[in-house]
């Protein structure tokens, strides 16, 4: 009995003095609405249950966001990952969570995760690894999965059967079914399905040029709103 008591005290002391008893706590989080213009709704597509987006809306994993013609929305997903959804577009928030070293608000952040599915339309993404915390961020369509390979600015467009990814700054990695990963550098784009095995200069394609112009135009607004966040 005495040995058990001593062991308990030693174990407690070890927890208090070291990190041996730390426990990673994972919790779901919500997207922050930076700004919304025009008719934008969110909710459950499965139940066809939607409501109007406002600055106070709590958009979370499982929610679908739809923009009407001419409408836009800017969202903060996790620290360093900000997106602009153009008009006539639809995304589903597939995963949105944080992992911390303990459940106290002051504890160290271990991991951030945000995954989006773009069903149709255009999304512009600004990604910056703000600290040493791991960030798992990606966007999928029916044809590709795109992830940042560095701090970057990129855009994706899809109509459901064709997808185009354009990198405006930094580098991104695209993965399509049965194909090796493809690295897309700044100023280049790729489209799926395609016979090309290498990215193409955006300057050679009118639609890719529009991707670049759009992304460079919305990024200052995204970063300004993120600074306020």
Instruction: Tell me the per-residue pLDDT of 170-200, one tens digit each, with 9 for 90 and over.
Output: 999 999 987 889 999 999 999 999 878 899 9
What are the CA-CA distances from residue 65 to residues 26, 83, 138 (Å)? 24, 12, 17
**What is the CB-side half-sphere exposure of residue 193 using CA atoms within 13 A?**
3
- Phi (first) and psi of residue 170, to 5 degrees: 75, -145
Looking at residue 135, its pLDDT comes to 76
Fold entry, domain 23-228: Jelly Rolls (2.60.120)
Name the pTM for this structure: 0.84
Q: Name the 3-class secondary structure at 153.
A: strand
Label residue 42 by pLDDT band (50, 70, 90): very high
Looking at residue 110, its pLDDT comes to 63
The rounded percent of the chain whose pLDDT value lies above 70 is: 84
pLDDT at 6 over 90: no
pLDDT at 39 over 50: yes
Looking at residue 134, its pLDDT comes to 59
pLDDT tens digits, 54-87: 999 999 999 999 999 999 999 999 989 999 999 9
- Nearest one of 170, 160, 165 to 91, comparing CA atoms: 160
What are the CA-CA distances from residue 43 to residues 49, 63, 77, 137, 167 (Å)? 6, 5, 16, 22, 30
pLDDT at 94 over 80: yes
User: Residues 80, 63, 164, CA angle at the centre, nearest 5°?
Assistant: 60
- Phi (first) and psi of residue 220, to 5 degrees: -60, -40
């Amino acid at each position: 009995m005495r040995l058990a008591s001593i062991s308990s005290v030693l174990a407690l002391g070890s927890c208090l003095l070291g990190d041996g008893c730390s426990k990673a706590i994972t919790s779901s989080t919500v997207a922050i609405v930076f700004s919304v213009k025009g008719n934008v709704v969110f909710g459950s597509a499965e139940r066809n249950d939607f409501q109007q987006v406002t600055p106070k809306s709590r958009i979370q994993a499982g929610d679908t966001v739809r923009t009407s013609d001419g409408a836009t929305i800017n969202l903060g997903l996790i620290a360093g990952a900000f997106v602009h959804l153009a008009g006539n577009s639809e995304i589903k928030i597939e995963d949105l969570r944080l992992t911390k070293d303990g459940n106290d608000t002051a504890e160290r952040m271990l991991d951030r995760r945000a995954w989006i599915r773009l069903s149709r339309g255009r999304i512009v993404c600004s990604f910056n690894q703000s600290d040493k915390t791991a960030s798992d961020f990606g966007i999928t369509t029916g044809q590709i999965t795109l992830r940042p390979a560095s701090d970057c600015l990129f855009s994706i467009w899809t109509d459901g059967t064709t997808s185009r990814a354009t990198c405006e700054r930094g580098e991104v990695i695209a993965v399509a079914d049965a194909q090796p990963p493809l690295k897309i550098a700044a100023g280049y784009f790729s489209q799926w399905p395609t016979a090309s095995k290498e990215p193409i200069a955006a300057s050679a394609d009118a639609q890719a040029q529009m991707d670049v112009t759009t992304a460079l135009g919305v990024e200052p607004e995204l970063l300004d709103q993120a600074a306020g966040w």
